[in-house]
Amino acid sequence: MIKSHFNNLNGWIIIDKQAGVTSRQIVNKMSKIFRLNKIGHGGTLDPMASGVLPIALGEATKLISFIQNKKKKYLFTIKWGEATDTEDIEGKVIEKSDIRPNKEQINKALNAFIGKINQKPPVFSAIKINGQRSYNLARRKISISHKPRQINVHELSLKKIINLDFAEFEVVCGKGTYVRSLARDIAEKLNTRGHITNLRRQFVGNFHEKDTIFIDFFDEILHSPSILKKIKPIEKVLDDIPALFLTETEAIKLRQGQKIKLDSFKFKNNFIKEYPNYKNFERVYTLNDDRLIALIEIDDGVVKPKRIINY
């Protein structure tokens, strides 16, 4: 039986998602385990994919948009010579090619996929068309086509040639990147066809494989207080943006939704000195216990609470 200290959890559980289960199924199971209504995941993984899946508990759900916008790293394998309708191993083969690229050809082709590029999302995706998910329309054999979208590929490299038919790659990319479509386009650039047979996410923002726990082990973990040690603090997702520290009085004002002049903050000078080019969104802590208070916007010298964190 779940103890009462699980009822008001706020933070992140980083799951090592295994292939064959959907991100939504994991969230649903976690919701039952922790008896939480406020729960969600940071960045969907395809059912066939494995790896880092951040689960937001309680007030951490207010920061899901931050994790979705972070860089992500994937390890993936392409099988040459076959295109599938889903662009991965779970689909039906729709086209074949006898061409098999070599290492030199592959490395040369990858240069075209680094930086800001346009990518056409797969038809088997969660994109909505007139209120319906693209994958549902595709399963019903309804003809659809998505317009190319701009994505950002920060790093892309060939890790190894497994054999004539398979090669392994590594990519660091931004929001909205479909690795399945990247594999499709790499194959087409090489005048062949291809699809993904293996996909593993190695990190999302500040959450890495070393932070994960296996979903298969939950029944055992839940009988031990050690589960609490696996929960990452809410503010972990914000580690790479500025922090404005507060006194308790200032924290109370922000919690009440009040605007405060930046000049009146006790620690304003240290903040501006450290972050002369601070962005609109910041994170805010009380000075006493380093608890996250709110996401704020600093506009024309005035601090405005945009999203208050209550825990």
User: pLDDT tens per residue, the chain (311 residues)?
Assistant: 344 445 578 999 999 998 888 888 888 888 887 788 899 998 888 888 999 999 999 999 999 988 888 999 999 999 999 999 889 998 899 999 999 999 999 999 999 999 999 998 876 556 666 666 655 655 656 666 667 889 999 999 999 999 999 999 999 999 989 999 999 999 999 999 999 999 999 999 999 999 898 766 445 445 445 666 788 989 888 887 788 888 888 888 888 989 988 888 777 777 766 766 665 556 665 545 678 888 888 888 888 888 888 88
Are residues 286 and 254 located together in one domain of the fold?
yes
Are residues 100 and 14 located together in one domain of the fold?
no
Are residues 81 and 64 located together in one domain of the fold?
no
Residue numbers annotated as active site: 46
Let me know: does 199 contact 74? Beta carbons within 8 Å.
yes
Burial letters 49-77, b for 16+ CB under 10 A, else e: bbbbbbbbbbbbbbbbebbbebbbbbbbb
Q: Which domain holds residue 214?
A: 4-69+206-237
CATH number for the domain spanning 283: value is 2.30.130.10
Look at the alpha carbons of 36, 235, 232, 229 in this order and tell me if their dihedral is positive or negative. Answer: negative
- pLDDT the model gives residue 283: 66
Are residues 76 and 195 located together in one domain of the fold?
yes
Tokens of 195: 């699809």
Are residues 198 and 78 located together in one domain of the fold?
yes
Q: Which of 237, 259, 291 is the last residue of a domain?
A: 237
Are residues 174 and 199 located together in one domain of the fold?
yes
Are residues 89 and 61 located together in one domain of the fold?
no
- pLDDT the model gives residue 2: 42
Are residues 188 and 216 located together in one domain of the fold?
no
Tokens of 241: 């943006």
- pLDDT the model gives residue 224: 47
Are residues 57 and 162 located together in one domain of the fold?
no
Domain count, the chain: 3
CATH number for the domain spanning 8: value is 3.30.2350.10
pTM: 0.86
Are residues 214 and 137 located together in one domain of the fold?
no
Let me know: does 246 contact 287? Beta carbons within 8 Å.
yes
Are residues 56 and 126 located together in one domain of the fold?
no
Q: Count of residues for the chain?
A: 311
Residues whose CB is less than 8 angstroms from the CB of residue 307 and which lie 6 or more positions away in sequence, other chains included: 62, 294, 295
Are residues 65 and 212 located together in one domain of the fold?
yes
